[in-house]
Each structure stands twice: as C-alpha cells, then as structure tokens.
Amino acid sequence: MGDLSCKLLVIGAGPGGYVTAIRAAQLGLDTLLVEAGKPGGTCLNVGCIPSKAMIHAAEEFAKVVGMAAGNSPLGIGLATPTLDLAQTVAWKNGIVGRLNSGVAGLLQKAGARTLEGWARFRDGKTVAVETADGTQVVRAGHIVVATGSAPVELPFLPFGGPVISSTAALELTEVPPRLVVVGAGYIGLELGTAFAKMGAAVTVVETEQRVLPRHDAALSRPVAKRLSDLGVEVLTGCRAKGLSDAADALLVEKADGETVALPADRILVTVGRRPVTEDWGLEEIELAMDGPFIRIDTHCRTSMRGIYAIGDVTGEPMLAHRAMAQGEMVAEIVAGEKRAWDKVSIPDVCFTDPEIVRAGLSPDEAKSTGLQIKTGIFPFQANGRAMTVEREEGFVRVIARADNHLVLGLQAVGAGVSELSAGFSLALEMGARLEDIAGTIHAHPTQSEGLQEAALKALDRALHI
C-alpha cells in the first residue's frame, strides 16, 4: 500500500469525530476519518440512540400493561399485552442502521475521505492503520484524537456470562426475569427502569446513600419515587462484592457489614465510563495527561503541536453534544479561523422516569460563588399540560443573581423535560435575566410555561401558584 497524506486526520468516527470531519471538509480541508467500527461511535451504535429507543419501547409496553390491568383513568381497556423483545431489538437496530447510513452520507456529501481500520501513532505526524487489506500509513498535517470511552469493568465482576455492560444489555432478546443493576447513575437507572417496565424484577445496588448521587436531592427524589412505584428495589449504602459460587447471584455487602446474595439472571454493571486511550500508540507521542484523560487547552490542543483531542477522551462531561461542539471548533481552528472554547452551558439530560435536565450552575454551585442568589421553582402539579398527560410530578427551577437577576442555572425534572434543554441553554448563552424569561410569551398549554412561571416566582410575581 502506498502512503496516504492529508491535511487533517481524525481518529474515531463518534459524534465528535464525524462532526470534525464533516466541518473540516466543508471548509475545504483535505480530511481523512479513520474508524474501526461503524460510524457514529458509542452514542449512535450502543449508547444514546439505541437506549432511548428501548426506553420508548418499554414505556409504550408499560402503558398497555396498565390499561390491560384496568388502571387507566381514561377508561381505556384492552386484552393482555405481550412483548417480543427480539422484534423490539430489531426495530432499534433498524434505527441505528438508518443513522449509520446517514452519517456516511453526510461525510461523503461534505467530501471527507474515510478509512476503516484501527489506527496507531508512529509519531506526531504519522499513523499506521490496520485495515482488512493490510497496514496503511497515513501522514497528516494535523491529527484529532476522538477515540471516545468504554464502560468501566470491575475487577471482581468482569464482563461475561451473567455479568453484562450497557452495550450487551441493549442486545438482549429476552427480558431477564431477575436483573440486578450495579450503580444508580443515569445509565443504570435508564436501563433498569426500562427493563422493569418490560417485566423484569429489578434491584439496584448503589454505594452512595441515594440514587443519582451526582444530582441534587430535589431532582433525584421524583426518580426514586417512580422507581418505588415500578417495584424496583433500591439498596443504597451497599457495595457489590462479586458473584456467588454458582454465578446465579450477586454478593452485596450492606452498610452494617452483612453480606447478602441477590438472585440474578443478569447483572448489569454501570459504574461509569473510562476514556479509550490504550492500543492507539499514544505512548509513542507522550501526550500530557490529566489522570486518565488527555490534557487539552481552550482550543482542544494537546501538549504536542498539531495534535488535538476532543470528546470523552478529554474528560467530563462525557456528552456527545460537547464532543460535537469541540469537533466543529477544532475543524475551524485548523482551517485558520479564530475560535476558543467559551461555552456557558453544556446541558445534560437523564432519560430516567421522570427525565432530568440541568444547565448552568446548581443551587450549591451558585451559592459557592459567594453571590447572593434568587431561586424560583414552579411545580408541574400547577401546569395544565402536565395534568392532561397524567404526569404531574416534578418542577422547573431557575437560579439567578439577586443583584442584577442574571440567570446562572436552570434545572427541571418531569416527563419530557429533555426538550426544555435547548431553551435552558439558549437563555444562559444569551445572558438572559429573569425579566427576559418572564417577559417572553410561552405557548399555552405547554410544559415550557413552567420556565416562565419559575422566573416569575423568583421575581415575586408568580401568577399560577
């Protein structure tokens, strides 16, 4: 094989990598994207998209189960429902396939070249790609590392047999009768809730004292209540120790030191994600690190000239939309534009039941700045739209400076609140004040009215509460 050359080489075709390649090609840069698997990375193939598809399927099944049991206040009844999980997975895979094709089409349309294979650095300008046809050497003017992250594997609960990762959970073709979830973060609760709705007996084990320990208690409380309503057993302050001798139970140490065995057909381990930095030959270029992550500056530059890093491999927050924004910026920097990372808001969403969305500062973070703050909360129990869709749990919360009313943070918990994330981020990026939000007409009846009402509450002008 003859050597290839390009202006920009992107390693990894996840959300960050493929956006980098598309934008760079749009700007006229000779761009090559290397990926060993399918385009779209973890998010599209085994993360964000397929998990949301399964969550939706589980929610639809739970609705008809409730109707069959005569639990619908709307007077709707039907025969006993069934779930063919294999068909559900096939439907989910169809969505993933369509999006894979869409990403490939966008890369082609932009004029970015692609190469399927595993890349390894030889030096700061040269990468060897192991392809199906042999080793392809690529020389590049600039290189972007966008290798993403992978599930953390516990040494005493290695993946295999009954122990599965989130990736394997999304490929199950039968609902496990008994599922134990290790870790009550957003991934564990999203999937655990989905399987509970599909009929599994679910137990969640968490070392901290409550679910979603990285979220403030007010946001996690409605989620904990919903888990209880679904029959999910939550064991907090407990630590997983390993499999039983027969591999049919998880051994758990409780807070009082007692060890109990939780019978399980599957054990889903969701204790976090780690950056994928091994097997890429990074030792050949000796990049500066921040713990396990690649260190970057406000331009996503690494410690080696001409090499950039974006996305999960650079640290928290490990979110696809952060990687996309970084990738777009890096492409423009390489093309000669003046850009720097100056984002005010990177919203994050838990697709739990109910959903949680956060943008900007939390109440504790805002207080830690030393500023006096004002907080406004509007409960969905007072929202007409929430009532009409039978989902009144949760609230919208706004946090602002007390002196000039500049909005510092926005949070919400409730059904469908993920769709409020754009409005939250826009308000923060535009430097909105409470008066701006309160004075903006919000359509009625919608849940978005909760944002306006929360701002009015913070201004002591509440209308509907």
Residues with a catalytic annotation lie at: 444
In whole angstroms, give the CA distance from residue 77 to residue 75.
6
**Which residues, other chains included, contact 1 with Cβ-Cβ below 8 Å and sequence gap of 6+?**
133, 134, 135, 136, 137
DSSP 295: P
In whole angstroms, give the CA distance from residue 335 to residue 290.
27
The structure tokens listed for 229 are: 């309503």
Question: In angstroms, how far apart are the furthest CA atoms of the chain?
Answer: 71
**Ranges assigned E (strand) in 348-447:** 348-350, 355-360, 373-379, 395-401, 407-414
Three-state SS annotation for 317-363: CCCHHHHHHHHHHHHHHHCCCCCCCCCCCCCEEECCCCEEEEEECCH
Residue found by looking up tokens 């698997």 in the block: 37
Within 13 Å, how many C-alpha atoms sit on residue 115's CB side? Answer: 25
In whole angstroms, give the CA distance from residue 327 to residue 103.
15
SS3 of residue 464 by DSSP: coil
CB neighbours of residue 95 within 10 Å? 14
Radius of gyration of the chain (CA): 24
Q: How far is CA 153 from the centre of its chain?
A: 18
In whole angstroms, give the CA distance from residue 312 to residue 319.
7
The structure tokens listed for 259 are: 């060890």
No. of H helices and E strands in the chain?
A: 13, 24
**Cis omega (within 30 of 0) for bond into 445:** yes
The structure tokens listed for 316 are: 């928290």
